[in-house]
Amino acid sequence: MKILQTLQESMKEHSLRNAFLINGTYYTYGQLGSKISGIRRLVQDQVPSSEKFIGVVTNDDLETYASMIALWFEGKAYVPINPIYPKTRNKEILEQTESTYILDSSDTKYLDDGFHVLSAGNLSTQGMDLCPKTVHPESFAYVIFTSGSTGVPKGAPITFKNLDSFASAIDENLSFSLYPSDRCLQMFELTFDMSVVSFLAPLLKGACVYTLSKKGIKYFEIVKLLSEYQLTVLIMVPSIIHYLRPYFKEIHCPSVRYSCFAGGKLFGEIAKEWNKCIPNAQIINYYGPTETTIYCGGYLFNKEGGNKHENDVLSIGKPFPNTSYMIIDENGEELGVGKTGELCIAGEQLFPGYIKNEEKNKQVFFTVEHGGRSHRFYKTGDLCYKDADGDYMYVGRADFQVKIRGFRVELGEIEYHVKTKLVGMDVVVIDVPDGMGNLELGLAVCSNKIDLEPVISHLKEVLPPYMIPTQFLFLDQFPHSVNDKVDMKELRARFTDLKTKHI
């Protein structure tokens, strides 16, 4: 695979350059290469070749990144296991992917019962072994789990072909082109796929990856890295600049060349203000679901103005050359220019399907015959329309899936877990604005005021922190719209009015 070869060449060519800055320490490409070699030997010795998915405990260290790349060189997929998430959820993920081997750099093993845990720390570092195995393009490179409405997370596996195609598609496209001298931010948890581009794109070019310390408050840590190391490339979710907005006047970083956004709506107004903090940067608004490999299209922001938008949400531009978009109505009929419908995506970055979830796969895929060939399309659940120039505008979500701090959340999944504790009660989980331009989760319960503590502790056991509701509302009856559905708009308004706090 081309990316693996390019990675190998990059490590050889830039062996004396810095590859990572992690918790204040620099590591060269040479050091990274030697870690990767050590982990490969461990995997070759200990893991049967039939094992395709290997868990990696996502610590904030060189060993974790080296583990993921070592698995790629061995033609295996990594399954990121985030130690800050509940163990039950992590075990569910390992079970779904049938992973029995785990690479773990922690001093004390994160999981031990029933798994083969291989320590990725303190390995001998003799000799380099950076020649990738011959990898089948349809083999998997990584799996990202997203929230599923039935209470079980959905695993979206991405193939080497998908990833290879993504890497070629972003390079020298939409003005994005990295050099070995670039200093690039990696702010994401490794369980979120924007982390992949944040470390892969720099490593392919010999640039340096600056990872975020997990100790402080995220957006302040970003500004610290940004100003201390004069970063040149930022890949972020829009919520970061919403938090920083009150302090834009104090931020001045002329070093930034690219400020890439994805994973949420980017508003034109804030993008313009942010561009003043990073006056030499090109802002790029990328778009794409996890299922089509990180992002599959984008829009170049013009700081002089005249940008395309829908309700101030910046256009998501055009698909990459390897990708096709199509807008359909409720009956699956293709819609023309200016008509809003569900965006569907086909192309080389499209994943093969969710793991062990035939029902969902039937729902999200369909095939279109075109020019004697059949094309598989994926229904994104995003409502969009295309303008006369072929640029796409983002309108909203078609279902009840929302983005909280960049993470996709099926409100249904949270409701499902709430209902296991509040049996027989009517509950609704809803996204509510927090007054600072971001979304919070609100839990509305049809009842007199009750103690929600047991519910919240249960949620904390089964869900990651970003899925725990932070606002609470008790109602005699939910507001309903004319067609008998819960009136989400009205309910959201009640949250904003009352701001009823827990306990």
Partner 1 sequence: METTEIKESLKAIFTDTLGHNSFELEDDTTAKDVDGWDSVTHMMLINEIEKKYNIKFSLMDLMNLENIGSLIKAIKSKVGSSLIYVALCELLELESLVLLV
Q: In this complex, which beta carbon is closest to partner 1, that of residue 111 or of residue 187? A: 187
- C-beta closer to partner 1: residue 26 or 220: 220
Per-residue x/- marks for partner 1, 342-371, CB under 8 A?
A: ------------------------------
Q: How far apart are CA 135 and CA 20, in angstroms?
A: 26
Stretch that binds partner 1, among 150-158, 160-168, 215-223, 320-328 (CB under 8 A): 215-223
- H or E segment to which residue 243 belongs: helix 239-244
Whichever of 245 and 272 has its CB closer to partner 1, that residue is 245
According to DSSP, the β-strands at 282-287 and 297-300 are antiparallel
CB of 243 to partner 1, least distance (A): 6
SS3 13: helix
Q: 317, 296 in Cβ contact below 8 A? A: no
Q: Which is nearer to partner 1, 26 or 247 (CB)?
A: 247
Tell me: does residue 223 bind partner 1 (CB under 8 A).
Answer: yes
Report residue 478 CA to chain centroid gap. 33
Q: Where are the beta strands (DSSP E) in 281-372?
A: 282-287, 297-300, 309-310, 313-314, 318-319, 323-328, 341-347, 365-370
Nearest to 81 by CA among 69, 70, 93, 65: 93
d(CA 44, CA 64): 17
Residue 278 beta carbon to partner 1: minimum distance, rounded to whole angstroms: 15
Pairing relationship of beta strands 77-81 and 282-287 according to DSSP bridges: unpaired
Between 366 and 466, CB nearer to partner 1:
466
As a whole number of angstroms, the distance between CA 415 and CA 485 comes to 16
Number of residues that bind partner 1 (CB under 8 A): 23
Q: What distance, in Å, lies between the first and last C-alpha atoms of the chain?
A: 55
Determine the 3-state secondary structure of 281 from DSSP: coil
Q: Is 219 in the site for partner 1 (CB under 8 A)?
A: yes
Q: Does 265 bind partner 1 (CB under 8 A)?
A: no
Is residue 302 involved in binding partner 1 (CB under 8 A)?
Answer: no
E-state strands within 177-301: 183-186, 208-211, 233-236, 258-261, 282-287, 297-300
| Angle, CA 321 vertex, CA 198 and CA 274 arms, to 5° | 45
Segment contacting partner 1 by CB under 8 A, of 181-189, 212-220, 354-362, 394-402: 212-220
Site map 423..462 versus partner 1, x via CB under 8 A: -----------x-x-x-x----------------------
Q: How far is the CB of 257 from partner 1 (least distance, A)?
A: 22
Q: Does 243 bind partner 1 (CB under 8 A)?
A: yes
Q: Which residue, chain included where needed, has tokens 């295996």?
A: 76
Half-sphere exposure of 455 (CA within 13 A, CB side): 26
State how beta strands 101-104 and 116-119 pair. Answer: parallel
226 three-state secondary structure: helix
Q: Which stretch binds partner 1 (CB under 8 A): 166-174, 241-249, 369-377, 380-388?
A: 241-249
Q: What is the 3-state secondary structure (H, E, C) of 474-500?
A: EECCCCECCCCCECHHHHHHHHHHHCC
25, 45, 107, 217: which one binds partner 1 (CB under 8 A) = 217
The DSSP symbol for 190 reads: T
| CB closer to partner 1, 27 vs 192 | 192
By the rule CB under 8 A, 273 interacts with partner 1: no
Q: Residue 35, interface with partner 1 (CB under 8 A)?
A: no
Q: Does 224 help bind partner 1 (rule: CB under 8 A)? A: yes
Q: Are 138 and 159 in contact (CB under 8 A)?
A: yes
- How many other C-beta atoms lie within 10 A of the C-beta of residue 41? 16
Q: Which stretch binds partner 1 (CB under 8 A): 152-160, 163-171, 220-228, 266-274?
A: 220-228
With binding defined as CB under 8 A, does residue 503 bind partner 1? yes
Is residue 160 within 8 A of residue 1, CB to CB? The reply is yes
Contact with partner 1 (CB under 8 A) among 26, 220, 338, 390: 220
- Scanning 87-95, 189-197, 217-225, 384-392 for contacts with partner 1 by CB under 8 A, the matching segment is 217-225
Give the nearer residue to partner 1 in terms of CB position, either 155 or 469: 469
Between 1 and 441, CB nearer to partner 1: 441
Residue 388, interface with partner 1 (CB under 8 A)?
no
> Closest approach of Cβ 333 to partner 1, in Å?
41
Structure tokens at 4: 């693996």
Q: Closest CB to partner 1 among 250 and 269?
A: 250
User: For partner 1, which residue of 88, 420, 465, 489 counts as binding (CB under 8 A)?
Assistant: 465
Least distance (Å) from partner 1 to the CB of residue 224?
A: 6
245-264 footprint of partner 1 as x/- string (CB under 8 A): --x--xx-------------
The number of residues making up the chain comes to 503
On whether the CB atoms of residues 225 and 184 are closer than 8 A, the answer is no
Question: Which CB atom, from 28 or from 227, has the smaller least distance to partner 1?
Answer: 227
> Which of residues 215 and 373 has its CB atom nearest to partner 1 in the complex?
215
Query: What tokens were used for 399?
Result: 């279902």
Nearer to partner 1, 143 or 277 (CB): 277
Q: Alpha-carbon distance 98 to 443, whole Å?
A: 34
The region of 157-165, 183-191, 211-219, 411-419 touching partner 1 under the rule CB under 8 A is 211-219
Binding residues (CB under 8 A) for partner 1: these are 215-220, 223-224, 243-244, 247, 250-251, 405, 434, 436, 438, 440, 465, 470, 501-503
